Amino acid sequence: MEEIIVRPAAPGDLDAVWALVRRAVQKMREEGSEQWGEDYPTRADYEEDLRRGRLAAAVSAQGQVLGCACITDEPETAYAGVPWAVEGPALVVHRVAVDPALQRGGVASALLTYAEDWARARGIPVFHADTYCKNRKMQALFRKRGFVQRGEIHLPGRSLPFPAFEKLL
42: domain CATH number is 3.40.630.30
Q: Give dist(CA 78, CA 92) in Å, integer.
A: 12
Q: Number of folded domains in the chain?
A: 1
Is the per-residue pLDDT at 1 higher than 70? no
Which strand (E) or helix (H) includes residue 18?
helix 14-30
DSSP single-letter state for residue 157: T
Task: Show the domain range for 11.
Answer: 5-168
Strands 126-130 and 5-8: unpaired
Q: Give dist(CA 23, CA 42) in Å, integer.
A: 13
Is the per-residue pLDDT at 84 higher than 80? yes
Around 152, how many Cα atoms within 13 Å sit in the side-chain half-sphere? 9
Q: Give dist(CA 87, CA 129) in Å, integer.
A: 14
- Dihedral pair phi/psi, residue 159, rounded to 5°: -80, -25
**What global pTM score does this model have?**
0.93
- pLDDT by residue (tens digit) across 11-59? 999 999 999 999 999 998 888 777 787 788 999 999 999 999 999 999 9
- pLDDT by residue (tens digit) across 102-119? 888 899 999 999 999 999
pLDDT, residue 29, reads 86
